[in-house]
Amino acid sequence: MRSSSKSDLCERCLQEHAESIRASRVAEWQNDVLGAIEAVWSERDTAKATSKASLWDLFDLDRDNGGAGKRSDRGECLSRLSGSTLAKLRGWLETNEEEAVNRCGRNAFLGLRADIGLLAWLCTWPSDKSLFSDNDKQDVTPPFDAVGYKCSGRAIDVTIPIQLALLRDERGYKSERDLAKDLGVPRTTLRHIMKRMDEIGFSLEKFTTEDLNYITRGPQHDSQQT
């Protein structure tokens, strides 16, 4: 007797092969990630073009060779994944946090987790819905957080461009001093951020994790590979 589900397997077969089926489903999202890594290698790294990837290779993908209008190697890889795959990847990363920290360091772990988490959130957000309602704009704190690291090892909140754009939308004049105080950054840092925002035409209606990383961390020579 067959199951009423769409599966071609009968109930007995489903029970007998449950573990194999679950393993296959797990392997499917992992294969998507590995395929994305290898695709980036094939397009951008001829030395690794024929290599087989592992999930740990995500840490080695350059996150700093992008910029305005161009994704970094890591950004290109992650952008090829669906929201559900990104969510599963973040779950795998958090489950293996101790090993990740031992292999690559805490900053690298936090940086990759932030990249994956932020992109997963953006992937699941409806394309026809604004990131922030009019009521939300009263609070400039985004509904997610993400951290990047400067070459000095200092952490920086990569959601600052979002917060700054929201502050600029508020009624009334805010001086550079006021904005720097509200965002908790030095005025010189604020000037660099505003310059890069203007450079790429940053908009709350359409932005990427690459935009946020470029604006807050700067070009490759200003930031740390993590």
Answer whether residue 18 shows pLDDT above 50: no
> What is the predicted pLDDT for the residue at 27?
78
Which stretch of 5-19, 184-198, 211-225 has the lowest confidence by average pLDDT? 5-19
Which string of b and e fits 102-122 if b means at least 16 CB within 10 Å? Answer: eebeebbbbbbbbbbbbbbbb
Mean pLDDT of 128-147: 50
Cβ neighbours for 20, distance < 8 A, ≥ 6 positions apart = none
Q: What is the pLDDT of residues 143-185, one digit of tens each?
A: 555 555 555 556 677 788 888 888 887 777 788 999 999 888 8
Q: What is the pLDDT of residue 4?
A: 43
Higher pLDDT, 158 or 74: 74
The mean per-residue pLDDT over the stretch 118-136 comes to: 59
pLDDT level of residue 57 (50, 70, 90 thresholds): very high
How far apart (Å, rounded) are the C-alpha atoms in residues 74 and 97?
A: 19
d(CA 204, CA 186): 23
**What is the total residue count of the chain?**
226
pLDDT at 106: 86
Q: Does residue 95 surpass a pLDDT of 90?
A: yes
According to the model, what pLDDT value does residue 160 have? 87
Residue-level pLDDT at 30: 93
Delimit the domains of the chain by residue range. 21-124, 136-222
In the predicted structure, residue 222 carries a pLDDT above the cut 80 = no
The answer to whether residue 5 scores a pLDDT higher than 80 is: no
User: Which residue in the block uniquely carries the two structure tokens 């951008």?
Assistant: 44
How does residue 37 score in pLDDT terms, banded at 50, 70 and 90? very high
pLDDT of residue 124: 63
User: Taking the model in full, what pTM does it have?
Assistant: 0.59
Q: At what angle do helices 209-217 and 106-124 cross, to 10 degrees?
A: 140
Question: Distance between the two ends of the chain, CA-based, in angstroms?
Answer: 55
191 pLDDT exceeds 90? yes
Q: What is the pLDDT of residue 58?
A: 94
| pLDDT > 70 fraction of the chain, expressed in percent and rounded | 68
CA 222 to chain centre: 19
Q: Under DSSP, is residue 55 helix (H, G, I), strand (E, B) or coil?
A: helix
Query: What does the block give as tokens for 51?
Result: 């290599």
- Tell me the pLDDT band of 211, cut-offs 50, 70 and 90: confident
